[in-house]
Structure formats: C-alpha cells, structure tokens
Amino acid sequence: MTKPIIPVARRHASDTNYTSGPDIGTATKVDPGAALAAQGWLPGAPVPAQHLNHLLASAAAVARRMLAVLALRPHTTDAAFADSTAACAAACVENGGASEGIKALVVKAGTAGSMYVNDSDAVTVAGDTVSVTSLVTSIAYDNTAGRFIAVGSGGNNHCSSTDNGANWVTGGAIGFVPQDIVRNPTLGLFIVNSASGSGSARTTNGAAWTSSSHTLAASGKGGIAVLSSGRTVICGFDGFDAPRFTISDNGSTWADSGGFPADGGISFLNEGYICGNGGPLIWHVGLRGSPPSAIRVSVSSDGVTWTTRADLSISVDNIPPAALQPDTQPRIMCCQNTGMLVIVCAEVATSRIFAIASLDGGFTWTEPVYYAGASLRAFAVANGKLYRTLGSGLEQSVGVGWR
C-alpha cells in the first residue's frame, strides 16, 4: 500500500510563477499585499491568480478544520469490553480488498480485550489479548500475512492475531517490557522499543524475537516510527534538555542521529514523542522552553534533520497553561490511511486530557477538545477516526471520512 500524503493547505495553491515581465513580477504563490496589489494582476485576467488561490485555500482551511473537530469528538458505541482496564491501541486494517474496505481493530488488556470495527461503524467484541495482562500500549499490522501484534506490560508482554482479534496467541519472550511496536514492510519486520532503558527487538511473526541495543544516551521511550525508505527511528532523551534519535536501516544495528539543533538556548523538558504512517515523513511533538511556553511540532524525512512545523502557544493557540507542566509528555499519533495527526496531552494540574488535530501535515491545528481524566494510552487513531476506551466502553468519532 502506498501511504498517502495529505496535501499541504497552502495559502496559495501553486509554487510556480506564472507571471511575466517587470510590470508583473509577483510569484503566484505570494500574496502581494495592498502595497503591491497593482503588480499582482495577470494580463487578460480580471482577478490575479494569487488572490483566487488565497480564497480557495481559505475555504479549504475552514473545511479541514470542521472535519478535524468532528474527528476529535468520539461518541459512545453500544459495544462493551468485559472489564474496565483503560488502555487502548488501534491499527488500520486493509485485509479485505476494495470490496471489504478498511477496518480498525481496537485492543485493551483484559478479558475480551479487542474490538473489531468495520466501515459502517459496527463494533464486534473480539477475543482476549492473552499474555498482555496489565496495559496494552501499541499494536501493529502486517497486511501481507494478515497478522496483528499487540504489546504492553504484564504477562508475556505481547500476543498476535491473524483473524482480526477473534483469537490471540502468545509468542516468544521479547526480553524486556516493550512500549511501542511498528511494522516495517521494507524489512518484513515488526520492531519494538523498550519502555525503559535502551533496548529494541525485532520479529517476523512474534514467535521469536531478536534483541538489539541502541545508542540513545538515556531511555528510548519517546516512540518509534518507520519511513517509506525502510528506515526505523526511535526517540529518546539525552537526560538534559533535548530529544535524541537513533536510526536503523536494517532493524538490528542502530546509530545515534543526534537531536534537535540549538534553538536560541531554548530547551525541551523531555523526549516528547514521534509518529508516522509509513510514508516519507515522521513527526515529533515536545514541550518547548523551560519553563514550557509552547508545544512544538517538528517533521523529518530521515530522522536526522528536523524542521519546525508549528509552535502552539498558550496565547495564540488556546493551549491551556495547565497542560504545559514539566512532568507532562504529549503524545502524537498518525492515522495509517488518512495521515490525520492527533496530539493528546495531559493537564497535570486539572487531571484532564485535551486533544488537537491537523489535516495538513501539522501546519495548522484545531483548538483543544477536552476529556475528563483518562490515560493518554486510552486514545488511538485509525481509519480517519479517534478511538477512546473509557472504563468498559468504546468511543469512536465520526472521522474525517475519506480514503
């Protein structure tokens, strides 16, 4: 499957300068402003292209914002888990071809710990996620073999299913407690990072695992992501003031790729988190400043060079001050088949969680939507929707609604 890239919501739709001559001279993608309006007109056109593009982009931004807000407002479904363990992970499933569509599997620890959700939002309670007895933290899917692997804490820390969660099988020992899992289709591997320390492990099917150590100075618990190039990236913390990253092109040997460059002496409070959908880009979110003043979203095509995509601040973006606490760690998620980005962040001072979404690759974000106390791991994205486990119930949003 070729992973999609959501088109950037440019202020002006084209990067090409269609103008000609010194009396015009304004690139189509640039709004000339009032002072240069006289130079922005194209010969033979009553309205300059850059202004038309600006109007179209503005309308698109409004539509994207409405869709993103809908995706952040999950409603309760009729289905119920058999217990109230509040942990959730979801993966996009493309196992039935065009006639069957894209599905989502939501899992949590405990008896009857998975639910299968189809395109019509019908929810089926599936099987018990055996051998993950405490907290399910992540899930990945191999669309070639039709296999899910869920990881978490407690028991044997992972299990797999090849029938959409109806039955789960215990595999071999990983050797540590995993936190996140990704599927690297280029290498044909599932790869996990450690919830503590500097470990990683890989497997083809969950039956047997091979461990490796990476080179992060501190723990590598800031997420794991895969690029379409076949590169896997793990995020950690240098123990001082910046996230750090380690990369692997084979899943077995890892090399420290450094961290963010100096930013005027502004530090980060923790490792933050990374995500991707197997496409050409991965994203990072972290608290910027000490004390924190903003949530920074960055993007990379290789795990080495990072570019700031957005700084979301208290005064401009309605980020609540209570969210920017030194001991919080925002989490970013990317929908596998739509590319929708969602950030969830805990407010330590208020015991609330808020979520924001982006439909243009992280350039623009919605205002926060709030939820009463719940774990960040109780949220997941798949199929253009936000899922949340709440007690024994499952919530899902309307979603962005495109394939």
Q: What percent of the chain has pLDDT over 90?
A: 28
Distance CA 199, CA 221 (A): 10
User: What mean pLDDT, rounded, does the chain reach?
Assistant: 78
The yes-or-no verdict on residue 24 having pLDDT over 50 is no
Listed range (25-29, 71-75, 231-235) with the worst mean pLDDT: 25-29
Listed range (86-100, 170-184, 215-229) with the worst mean pLDDT: 86-100
pLDDT at residue 59, as a whole number: 63
Structure tokens at 359: 């439909």
pLDDT at residue 53, as a whole number: 56
- In this prediction, residues 212-222 reach a mean pLDDT of 77
pLDDT at residue 150, as a whole number: 93
Distance CA 236, CA 255 (A): 13
Which of the pair, 61 or 286, is modelled with greater confidence?
286
In terms of average pLDDT, the best of 145-159, 252-266, 281-295 is: 145-159
The yes-or-no verdict on residue 31 having pLDDT over 50 is no
Per-residue confidence band for 119, with pLDDT thresholds at 50, 70 and 90: confident
Listed range (297-301, 354-358, 396-400) with the worst mean pLDDT: 396-400
The yes-or-no verdict on residue 230 having pLDDT over 90 is yes
pLDDT at residue 331, as a whole number: 92
pLDDT at residue 226, as a whole number: 97
- In this prediction, residues 274-287 reach a mean pLDDT of 93
pLDDT tens per residue across span 121-167 = 788 888 888 888 888 889 999 988 989 999 988 889 999 999 888 89
The yes-or-no verdict on residue 211 having pLDDT over 70 is yes
Contacts 24+ apart (CB under 8 A), 344-353: 344/376, 344/379, 345/295, 345/376, 346/376, 347/320, 347/322, 347/323, 348/322, 349/322, 349/325, 350/320, 350/322, 352/322, 353/379
- In this prediction, residues 265-292 reach a mean pLDDT of 84
Listed range (155-159, 202-206, 277-281, 374-378) with the worst mean pLDDT: 374-378
3-class SS of residue 60 = helix
Rg over alpha carbons for the chain, rounded to the nearest Å, is: 22
Give the predicted TM-score (pTM) of the model.
0.83
Distance CA 302, CA 283 (A): 11
Q: Where does residue 21 rank: exposed (0-12), middle (13-18), buried (19+ CB within 10 A)?
A: exposed
The yes-or-no verdict on residue 58 having pLDDT over 70 is no
Which of the pair, 281 or 113, is modelled with greater confidence?
281
pLDDT tens per residue across span 325-351 = 766 778 999 988 888 999 998 877 777
Are 109 and 85 in contact by the 8 Å Cβ rule? The answer is: yes
The yes-or-no verdict on residue 46 having pLDDT over 50 is no
Which of the pair, 211 or 327, is modelled with greater confidence?
211
Which of the pair, 55 or 189, is modelled with greater confidence?
189
- In this prediction, residues 183-187 reach a mean pLDDT of 96
